[in-house]
Amino acid sequence: MTERTQIYIDGTWTDGASHIENRSPSDTSDLIGLYAQADASLLDEALAAARLAQPVWWAAGIQKRHDVLMAIGTEMMARAEEIGRLLSREEGKPLAEGKGEVYRAGQFFTYFAAEVLRQHGDLAESVRPGIEIDVRREPVGVVAIISPWNFPVATPAWKIAPALAFGNAVVWKPANVTPASAVALTEIISRQDIPKGLFNLVSGAGRDVGQRLVESKQVDAISFTGSVPVGRGIAAAAIANMTKVQMEMGSKNPLIVMDDADLDLAVVHAAGSTFGGTGQKCTAASRLIVHASVHDVFVEKLVAAAQALKVGHALEDGTQIGPVVSEGQLSQNLEYIETGKSEGAELLCGGERLERATDGYYMAPAIFENTRNDMQINSEEMFAPITCVQKAVSYAEALAIANDTQFGLTAGIMTRSLSRASHFRANMRAGCVMVNLPTAGTDYHVPFGGRGASSYGPREQGSYAAEFYTSVKTAYVSAGEPE
């Protein structure tokens, strides 16, 4: 019998207004389950419950919040194999990546459990005699979290964990493409000793549930990860209520390969950055800017590396690249292949749909060369296992090409030169820069985010998360003279 799930509102699992099918992109005959969808009335119930629960949670104190977050994170890490398998089954990333994502999500919770106990304010001297000043952080209130499908556990974890750590209530709308991961995480949270209504799962369509959520006056802050057009719409809706926003959106990340680079290492990092997670990462290296003197050798090695990658079922041993997440995403990817050809780029390998033992959304990793920044394939985020190679005759030209974009999330350089590496770190306009490392792959205890069209609002992760999930209060006290 097909599993039929519920949504989680006001401390209770409840039937949704409707259900959607969840099928594996590795095997479309694999029906994972029917997943509940909220409607406007259910969302309103969740918002009202969150509003009531938040001050109770704040009053519970730092030890309670620490203990709850530590319990969530510990269970997630202990169940990384089980939940990671479910995640890979529904999203399509190889099993090792799925397990790693769940374990990392648990680390977000344990990290922010410790941050709960590290919350310190400031004392300041007043310019007026007899007055004491203290500065403290308080929760913003009810936080709406809207998360994507490509990291269906890790991305919500790095939003939910700090939201709860700093005393907020949460209303979470996950991506409809990966509902099973959302239910698995919610089940863990629901078993904790927390106020009824503190955490709510309201799955649903963006045009209905998502739009109503971001327009609600009951929401104090919105944390969103997704596309630039949706992000702009959220910002426009939020400004009407002066709602605080934090958004991670598109990217078009460059990786520069200089003439003094270790080419074998550069190929490994370029292939991993480009094709890891089937290219469905906001940190993927979709622009490879290669010095002319090593261009041909590098490209030859990269094509061989791409063709050697095993594309297959996410749960199959040896799979290095899983399927694309959905039929719609695959169709869009194949359209970009045709767009690249029509723009004059040369397709060196891949770009076609692949047949496997199971009916899934498989695609061969693709490499274009002879590309320019004014091409669509070099200016738009494709979210696909596709990369574009450009040639540069100098470091200065390579840096200029890398910075010629509306985005600015991650960027990397492969070089043995300390002076080039230092100059790149200072002059590359991106939120995260990497030297002799992949553009994809960040740590959980330091800030993450970009500039330009990639990000808007305070940074995510690490101690910097407090800037978004808290409000600063400055208190002045005149105690008077003792009698």
Beta sheet of 470-478, edge-to-edge order = 122-125, 131-139, 470-478
**Catalytic residue (one of 45, 97, 101, 282):** 282
- Strand, helix or coil at 328? helix
In DSSP terms, 357 is beta-bridged to: none
| φ, ψ of residue 399 in degrees (nearest 5) | -65, -40
Separation CA 174–CA 1 (nearest Å): 25
End-to-end CA distance of the chain: 77
Q: How many angstroms separate the CA atoms of 389 and 295, rounded?
A: 9
Strands 122-125 and 169-173: unpaired
What is the DSSP code string of 177-189? T-HHHHHHHHHHH
Extract the tokens encoding 465. Answer: 């998360």
Instruction: Kindly report the length of the chain.
Output: 483
Bridge pairing between strands 131-139 and 122-125: antiparallel
Distance CA 128, CA 144 (A): 41
Q: Are 130 and 62 in contact (CB under 8 A)?
A: no
Active site residue 248: yes
Q: Which of 248, 369, 381, 460 is catalytic?
A: 248
- The residues annotated with a catalytic role in the active site are 248, 282
